[in-house]
Structure 1
Amino acid sequence: MLDTIERETGPSPRHSVIWLHGLGADGNDFVPILPELVRPAWPPLRFVFPNAPVRPVTINNGVPMRAWYDIREADLANRADEAGVAASVEQVEALIAREGERGVPASRIFLAGFSQGGAIALAAGLRRREPLAGLIALSTYIPAAHKAAEVLAEGASAQPVFMGHGSQDPVVPFHAGEQSQALLRELGFNVDWHAYPMPHSVCMEEIRDLGDWLSRRLAGA
């Protein structure tokens, strides 16, 4: 089981958000946005911020760092090592199962991620036979997109998706996010797609839009 940082917005949370950080960061990375994201009308939530394993990253001269998978080259088609993606998806599934043991079923779990973490969120979402409450993918892309249709599980497309991407992103090109959201729509997903004038980062407008999206899914919950 991955080491995690957790924050609860109220007693006995019945909903969870599992949030995966980007390359070289750790579980603390997105904790600071919670005061800006969480709204008073929402039910109590448990936010789970796991730490990715430390591994050598080829594109960074083999330097070990927290990473959900090795990045072998800049080309998106071959960027992610598939074995690393599969291993991280399995670790995320273990976190989802643990939330179930704590009384939060899949239907009340959101899986979120930024950059590498978002790629794992989408990879896991494609394979989910029991739909989650939603997928949140920020500044990211679908790894091994050419295989997305063959790994798509029955019922997976019932999961709503929020995607946001910076139009000036030099790390994961904007067109990669656009192509990924278009592919998800082709596969039957309902994608709420947002573009922002920013680099490889998040912005207040994006947090606000994500809050609106979550509010619609938590209404009456």
Structure 2
Amino acid sequence: MSKMSYSSASMGSGSRTARRTVEFGRTYVVRPKAKHQATIVWLHGLGDNGSSWSQLLDNLPLPNIKWICPTAPTRPVTVLGGFPCAAWFDEGELSEDGPNDVEGLDASIAHIANLLSTEPSDVKLGIGGFSMGAACALYSAACFAQGKYGNGNPYPINLKAVVGLSGWLPGARNLRNKIGGSNEAARRAASLPILLCHGLSDEVVPYTYGERSSQMMSSAGFRYVTFKSYQGLGHYTVPKEMEEVCQWLNARLGA
């Protein structure tokens, strides 16, 4: 249960060189009910908080997993006309060609890495999330493969699983070039299993964005990307989807 702040130099272009401090909200932890084999940081969607997901995750039949559910900083969000709400990064438009808030993304996944850094060495580490949280999880996967954050600093966590529900990959259009130029990045990408789930009736993050992100990650060298679609599912989760998440995590993490 902690509040943390992260200060970084802006990675934007032009005159955006001021430092800004981002204060993260409360972190909720769901302790494992049996032998601790894996820890997953789970990230909520836009305007939500860690509490709501911690309650859902606490009821999943995954007794060997510890869940860490942080709360995003409150920040003005461009797509909401500048209205401030809990968001892992600023989002102006959902588009492969839209600008990415690399500074905000880096700050959030550095916060996630910090939460995972104190876990026991024999515990497998993963990241998952919903919507904007899923976008952050997939961005973490890309940084893991490249071995560095978007700002070039080393990425320190050895990920073993990534789950994204109703999300997308920021910067997907550049991923293939970034990973293809490094044998080590290609090796790391090929080692990381990723599960993506998306509803065909999603009215917030269109299904095609999730599908396209899955295709672009596969073409960039992520060999173990599983993409599941759900007929009639909007921008929310349902028991069937969470059952398949549980089955997938059991198979990948032995949890």
For 2:39 and 2:95, locate their aligned partners in 1 and report how far apart those are by CA, in whole Å.
34
Structure 2: runs of 5+ lacking an equivalent: 5-23, 148-156, 180-184
Match of 1:196 in 2: 230
1:36-87 superposed Cα distances (whole Å, 9 cap, x missing partner): 5224xx5x32100011111011121211111011111344531642221122
- Which amino acid is the alignment partner of residue 58 of structure 1? T
Larger Rg: 2
Partner secondary structure for residue 172 of structure 1: coil
Report whether the alignment pairs 1:57 with 2:77: yes
Partner secondary structure for residue 47 of structure 2: coil
For 1:76 and 1:184, locate their aligned partners in 2 and report how far apart those are by CA, in whole Å.
13
Structure 1: runs of 5+ lacking an equivalent: none
Report whether the alignment pairs 1:180 with 2:207: no
Q: CA deviation at 1:14?
A: 3.5
1:12-33 superposed Cα distances (whole Å, 9 cap, x missing partner): 6241011011100000121232
Match of 1:215 in 2: 250
The structure in which a higher percent of residues are helix is 1
For 1:151 and 1:51, locate their aligned partners in 2 and report how far apart those are by CA, in whole Å.
30
Q: CA deviation at 1:150?
A: 4.3
User: Which one of the candidate residues 140, 149, 154 is aligned to 2:167?
Assistant: 140
Say whether the 8 Å CA contact 1:82–1:144 is kept in structure 2. no
Partner secondary structure for residue 117 of structure 2: helix
For normalisation by structure 1, the TM-score amounts to 0.87
Identity %: 31
User: Which one of the candidate residues 14, 25, 30 is aligned to 2:48?
Assistant: 25
Aligned-residue RMSD, C-alpha: 2.0
Deviates more, 1:205-214 or 1:11-20: 11-20
Deviates more, 1:6-15 or 1:174-183: 6-15
C-alpha distance 121-74 of structure 1, shift in aligned 2 (>3 A): closer
1:174-214 superposed Cα distances (whole Å, 9 cap, x missing partner): 01111111111112221111001201111111111111101
For 1:160 and 1:212, locate their aligned partners in 2 and report how far apart those are by CA, in whole Å.
13
Say whether the 8 Å CA contact 2:176–2:216 is kept in structure 1. no
Residue correspondences, number:
213
Report whether the alignment pairs 1:117 with 2:133: yes
Partner secondary structure for residue 39 of structure 2: strand
For 1:18 and 1:80, locate their aligned partners in 2 and report how far apart those are by CA, in whole Å.
22
Report whether the alignment pairs 1:34 with 2:68: no
Partner secondary structure for residue 136 of structure 2: helix
